[in-house]
Chains A and B, each alone.
Chain A
Amino acid sequence: MKKTITLLIFGLLTTLGFSQEIISGTITDTNNVPLGGVSVSILDTPKGTVTDFDGNYEIEANSTDILVFSYIGFIVQNVPVENQTTINIVLQENTEQLSEVVVTALGIKKEKKALGYAVQEVDGESLEKAKEPNFVNSLSGKVAGLTVKNSTDLFQNPEINLRGASPLLVIDGIPDRTTDIWKVNADDIENISVLKGATASALYGSVGRNGAIMITTKKGKKGRFTVTANNSTMFQPSFIKVPEVQTTYGNGNQGSYAYVNGSGSGTEGGGWIWGPKLDQLDPTTPSGYFETPQYNSPVNPETGELVPLPFISRGKDNIENFFRTGLIQSNNISVDWGSDKASYRMSIANVYQKGIVPNTDLKNTSFTVGGSLNPSEKFSINSSLTYNKQYTNNFPEVGYGPTNYLYNLILWTGTDVDVNNLRNYWREGEEGYQQRHFNVSYYNNPYFQAYEYLRGYNKDNIFGNANFEYKITSNLSFKGRSGVNVYSLYRTYKEPKSYIGYGDKSRGNFSLQDTNYFDITSDLGFKYTNDLTEDISINAEVAYSNYYRNYSFHQSATDGLNFPGFYNLDNNSGSTLFGENIVEKETIHSFYGFVDVEFYNAFYLTFTGRNDKVSTLPENNNSFFYPSISGSVVLSSLFDLPTWTSFAKLRGSWSRVSEGKIDENNPYSHIQAYEKGTSWNGTPSTYFGSSLLDQNLKPETSDAWEIGTYLRFFNNRIGFDFAYYQSRDYNNLIYSPISETSGYNSLLLNGDVYKRKGVEFTLDFAPVRNDNFKWDTQINLSQYRRYQEEIYGGKEQTENFINVGDRTDEIYASVYQTNENGEVIFENGYPVADPYNRYIGYDEPDWTYGISNNLRYKNFNLSFLFDGRIGGLMYSTTNQKMWWGGTSPGTVNQFRDAANNGESTYIGTGVKVVSGEATYDVNGNIINDTRTYAPNDVPVNYINFMQTTSNGQNKNYHYYKETFIKLREVTLTYNFGKTILDKSPFTDLSLSLVGRNLWLSSDIPNVDPDSGTDNLQAPSTRNIGFNINAKF
């Protein structure tokens, strides 16, 4: 080894000895558009550079050197230096073949034209500037078929759907079965490759059944030693969507309100916001306004009674006054260097997110090292290791209920309460024991909640991989790879005394949870490549793979606290602590292999096969094999197509993938056993679960096929990718419902058949491309559908009323009875509930789309992205509760005023039954109907009506259209030119103004439909900031 190093140094010295010239020049394409990012290297040396934004480069070289100019999609040119100092090159587009290389399953790089399935790539650079707290949010709208439903809540996972199912996350070829999207820092991502179908990811086995998001992290690059610094600072100064509540009426019920003691009962109005009108003039009071006792009323020392205070809308700005400007700050520094023999990269990253709720934040720090060694031509080894820490002392609870901030701030707080008056959150003389609030039975003081109810989270992740390849002969290699995921997670829940949960006033509690996780995936195999003839080449691998996972969880909790504010299990006031522990182990042993065959640079075929033996099924059926085949034909290589066609390819694939795990989160679901029951005064109990297991469980299987085209026209200026796929899911491991009278509500078995299908279009084109101005557009569009093909047991209908052949996303809701004209039937002024659920629409959107634009003018670069969804329904808890509770602006009307005066004036639109009756069969179909109707004419109290119906019959039972369009991202970047950079220490410097989540247009009121669900989501923030990226 020593010798080699000496030789290396000697070689370097001798090289330095020769006279070197600085060669410079500009690279353009045939249209004279400068090409940035063209790789310029010296043949047979590690030296190299890339052209800047204007296509300029500089490189030191000898007259004997040969410069190599290469750029994806263009023909490589080799130019001897000789006596030249300026070498300008016009690169020819490679119209015959598109040699884009993409990362496919197991990290294997393949030419895009050879793929028989759909893969779409997202360049890591596009994630660098417009920062989100996690990289997945940044993928919204960028990939056809990939739907990211972003949560508005702090530190909540977005819902990720790839062709309607949840994809596998793969980091550097190793599946991350914990799917922790927070542990990968966006600055470390070189590239994301989305493998859309089962075929694409079949080599991962069952976990890859739903496609994969493949992340390739940055590695040390050959060439100069580079330091990169990236700072991104995003503020959340305003909201694009926040519930708008009425400010006309305050707390109370039936138009009256008087605070007594915060119990909510009696004159406090049961926690409703159906109270008196605010800001009503009353000349008889000292203030001139209507006055009533309130929670902050002083006590009259003489009478001991609360002094009435004016009932005015002082809390109109509660949202602005309580929430603060959020902040997402990302910093990253990395160094990298590489030569022919070795490369190295180290990166340190920190993301700090300050939540809009006071006293909430999230910190995320990563440290990554990675490198490669090529000690000999025959042997190479790569590895990387990341330590990541996610930690916060407090992040908000989500979901509807008293633990939700909006719930306490506006949904269930009348405008008569000013949040500024709540900052002092302990009741005087009861510090530590009783919070101070206008209602201490149903609601929490939001400041009390923010500063006293604390949810801590501390997760340490270590993940990494090592792989090697040893060339036995020039055709045959021995290769291996091993990757580990380790984490430990410590969570704490500190609940102060008097904290309100649903129907529970806390006695103070402390609970902690410890999770330890370890998994390892190892592959070992052989790789064979051979060009059999000039026109036929073959590439094959076989491998053995093993996966092992070990998960343990422990939780302990107090049953009340002795004294407040001391959060330790020792402070338990109950007779015992509550504890629980879980241990789970799982393993999969697999053999897999594939063969790629290539003929005449035009036909490509790939066969794969894999056999899994899993621990998560009974032993008689736990080993199973599944194959796939895919291929493509490059038409433009075979035929003389019109000249405006630059490239044309047809592709197709078929795959079968089986899955042997019943429940993603429990490897023991195939074992029938007792569950722990509630112990009674210390006497333990057990119970038996509600599902019965089939004794012959076997893996569930999907057969999927896909066809597609990839076309490029007009010198590659227009590209079009189309995919149609279908999948038949059978032997599904389902909990098939059975009559509960049989003792179980379901049977776990292989049954039901589903068909999934969808289309995806990607269109990219460059309307303008000239010296100074370049405009690129990309449009993604996709549709996904799932159908019920068979129901186990030959039933006509599922429990959710889906018939064979129907879409599985049909929504059947609990509705009111209607007559044959669709008019709602009333009895005594109230709508009559229908005992049978009725169809009201589809859940899934018809189309999901994204439109991105990139405009480059000289050193400026502007990119913006619109995305959205069309069609589909989503249920909105926020809207339903607003109508129910009295905060919806729609409740401000004359009926409400009348109700406040005790009058019943509201007549619901519909009919009442005058005579006759209807009889139904068991499925709710009318057998006999003798009813006659008259218009409903029974006036009722408007407040009673809303409290009974939530206005459901007029609001489609609060299922709203999900359709929306969003301005997802705008980035304006200035890349500093060469003249400025030369005078600076930087080799590259860019400054960007960035906005995300800027504008929204949607049908649904009060909530952002982006997340696809609404269970009282946090307000949707507008993110605005800047990014600085510098290379030294």
Chain B
Amino acid sequence: MKNIKHSLYILLAFLVLSCSKTEDLQDDENRATAVSPELILTNVEVSAFNNISLSAGLASRYLTNTNGVNSNQYYNWQRSDYSTYDDLKQVSKMIEEAKRTEIEVYQILAKFFNSYFIVSLTETFGDIPYLEAINASEGNYTPAYDTQKSIYIKVLNDLKSASDQLIANDETILGDVIYDGDKLKWRKLINSYYLRILMNLSKKENVAELNIKNRFNEVFTNPSKYPIFESNDDNGALHFYNIQDNRYPLQNNNDLQTAYYLEESFVERLQDFQDPRLFTFAEKKPNGNNLPDDDFNAYGGLYGSGDLNTNVSKAVNGEASRVHPRYFNDPENEPSLLISYAEVEFILAEATVRNWINSNAVTHYKNGIQASLNFYNISETDAYLNNPKIELSTGNEIEAILTQKHIAMYLNTGWQSFFEQRRTGFPEFNTDGTGILNSGNIPKRWMYPANEATNNGENLNSAINKQFPNGDTINGEMWILK
């Protein structure tokens, strides 16, 4: 009997030992519940600056695709999504952590990122929630929609106040993978981006509330208070590294190697201009393989709106160039640009032409081209800059500036060059090929995400009714374009 008792005690002891209170296991050892704001800044920066997009390349008539009828190339795309709101949420968490740790500088930078993300959303859809957005933690799950106009006004005010606040701020910016904490460069970025936003609003230059011309002038004439980009060193650029998850996003992309070819009208324009950037953008076409690399005839493209069958047979017959192999072979390749010095110069050129500022359009125009050529490590630039074909002559200024801007934005700067073309109509994106869809129209926007109809239907519905008489379609014209 003693043995039995002993074995019972042992079993009981085993039971007691295995006990652990539920209260003691309420902490997750794998995740942090509070972090320092710079950890979120890194994430937000990568998300904002990493914008390489093949879809944008197709829609902007840089590239074509031969793997079937591509909706970006043939202009019958449908919806986009709201994933950028998650970026806005990360920004709001950064603000929250910055308030907790009482560091102001991240709250200032947050104004820029908020502006950048909300602009990319409104450029995509039209009216979208902003003032009531990112408020789920306060119980608002169905934010009301704000008009595009009110969003732009808020963005302009926020950017200006961020720029002003940064002047006086003496805190250190950590976790900064763009400018490594250089606050002057941040001010230049914010001011330069402010100019882009004003230019986005070029069709609204007479709307008094926006006060576009004065705002533009205020920056341009006050370089000490509102410094802007002065060289490629200032570029808002995310560099890639030969480290897992840090590599150039198109590296190793199989489709890029086998089904993407340059667009014919783009190639012909570069050939026409004798633009040396063609040699860094593209690979020689198979039929041109025996020609020297710098022979413009060695390159070719497929017609963006052309019949797929014709395009594919041209590709199979070796008449089309792929992108330059560095895009799929080089893990670092080139940085992704949020906004570049070249773009700023083109903005200044356009502003001069539009009489917003008093300056020399040709100088800005040539500075922009020069900066773009330098970005691609082309040092011999005189011949090109003096080429009469690209001369800025009266009457064609806007077209010439926008055409150069388009070339400079090849496979960088996200969807900006598509938006620029949408705003100005330059350069012309061909829709006359027999393969074109969407009844030959270039879409002006994207349909709202399908799940928004289930989750915020009432607000969405009233936003659509206010903006688009034909409902939520890709051809609807948003405020900024009217």
Residue ranges of A at the interface with B (Cβ–Cβ < 8 Å): 1, 253-254, 256, 263-271, 375-376, 379, 381, 441-442, 466, 468, 470, 480, 482, 503-505, 520, 522, 524, 546, 548, 559, 574-576, 578, 581-589, 613-615, 618-619, 622, 667-668, 671-688, 690, 692, 737-745, 747, 793, 795, 797-799, 827-828, 830, 832-833, 835-837, 899, 902, 904, 917, 919-923, 927, 940-941, 943-944, 947-949
Contacts and interface: CB of A to CB of B under 8 A. Distances in A.
Contact of A674 (B33, B89, B316, B455): B33
Contacts of B1: 376
B30 A742 contact: no
Interface string B300-336: 0000000111001101101000100000000000000
Nearest to A949: B68
Contacts of B253: 503
Contacts of B32: 673-674, 686
Contacts of B437: 827-828, 830, 832
B460 interface: yes
A676 B4 CA distance: 53
Given A615-B26, A747-B136, A739 B257 contact: no
Contact of B434 (A468, A587, A828): A828
Contacts of B26: 615, 618-619, 671
B21 interface: yes
16 contacts: A267-B318, A379-B4, A468-B7, A522-B18, A575-B243, A587-B21, A681-B243, A683-B175, A687-B40, A738-B142, A739-B129, A740-B81, A742-B135, A743-B133, A793-B141, A833-B71
A275 B454 CA distance: 45
B42 A685 contact: yes
Nearest to B71: A833
A947 B67 contact: yes
A828 B305 CA distance: 12
B236 to A, nearest CB: 15
Given A468-B8, A524-B12, A743-B135, A680 B177 contact: yes
Contacts, number: 306
Contacts of A793: 141
Contacts of A587: 19-22, 25
Contacts of B93: 674, 688
Given A442-B254, A468-B8, A919-B471, A686 B40 contact: yes
Contact of B11 (A1, A468, A683, A739): A468
A576 B81 CA distance: 35
A688 B243 contact: no
Interface string B17-37: 011111111111111111100
Nearest to B435: A828
A897 B3 CA distance: 88
B86 A743 contact: yes
B33 A668 contact: no
- In the A-B complex, list the 8 residue pairs whose CB atoms are closest, starting with the nearest: A948-B68, A685-B42, A739-B456, A673-B31, A668-B28, A743-B89, A941-B309, A742-B136
Given A379-B4, A742-B143, A680 B461 contact: no
Interface in B222-264: 239, 241, 243-246, 252-254, 257-259
Given A503-B252, A742-B140, 15 more contacts: A254-B312, A254-B316, A263-B258, A269-B316, A270-B66, A375-B4, A468-B8, A668-B28, A739-B82, A740-B82, A743-B92, A743-B133, A798-B454, A904-B309, A944-B308
A828 B436 contact: yes
A264 B254 contact: yes
Given A480-B11, A685-B39, A520 B257 contact: no
Contact of A615 (B25, B46, B89, B452): B25
Interface in B51-92: 66-69, 71, 76, 78-79, 81-83, 85-86, 88-90, 92
A138 B155 CA distance: 65
Given A586-B25, A668-B28, A799 B15 contact: no
A928 to B, nearest CB: 9
B316 A683 contact: no
A635 to B, nearest CB: 44
Nearest to B79: A835
Contacts of B425: none
Interface in B271-321: 286, 307-309, 312-313, 315-316, 318
Nearest to A552: B29
Given A381-B7, A524-B15, A574-B243, A739 B76 contact: no
A354 to B, nearest CB: 34
Q: Which of A376, A671, A740 has the most CB of B within 10 A?
A: A740
Nearest to A688: B93
Nearest to A684: B39
B450 interface: yes
A676 B241 CA distance: 20
Nearest to A623: B22
A503 B177 CA distance: 26
A505 B252 contact: yes
A688 B89 contact: yes
B19 A737 contact: no
Interface in B127-160: 128-129, 133-137, 140-143
Contact-residue size bin, chain B (C-beta under 8 Å from the other chain): 35 or more
A578 B316 CA distance: 42
Nearest to A668: B28
A944 B239 CA distance: 38
B457 A680 contact: no
Q: Which of B76, B435, B451 has the most CB of A within 10 A?
A: B451
B378 interface: no
B22 A743 contact: no
Contact of B137 (A470, A575, A743, A827): A743
B43 interface: yes
A529 to B, nearest CB: 20
B453 interface: yes
Contact of B450 (A583, A687, A836): A836
B258 A264 contact: yes
B27 to A, nearest CB: 8
Nearest to B49: A680
Nearest to B20: A587
A739 B452 contact: yes
A903 to B, nearest CB: 9
B22 A619 contact: yes
Contact of B14 (A376, A522, A615, A687): A522
Contacts of A583: 29-30
Contacts of A442: 254, 258
Given A589-B22, A673-B31, A685-B40, A739 B309 contact: no
B450 A837 contact: yes
A742 B20 contact: no
A342 to B, nearest CB: 14
Given A270-B67, A685-B46, A902 B33 contact: no
Contacts of B471: 919-921, 927
Contacts of B447: 835
Contacts of B252: 503-505
A559 B15 contact: no
A923 B18 CA distance: 55
Nearest to A484: B18
Contacts of A676: 31
Contacts of B434: 828
Q: Which of B29, B136, B461 has the most CB of A within 10 A?
A: B136
A740 B83 contact: yes
Nearest to A256: B316
Contact of A902 (B30, B177, B309): B309
Contacts of A741: 82, 85, 128-129, 133-134, 143, 452, 456
A813 to B, nearest CB: 13
Contact of B472 (A480, A828, A920, A943): A920
B464 interface: yes
B470 interface: yes
A917 B438 CA distance: 12
A222 to B, nearest CB: 22
A362 to B, nearest CB: 31
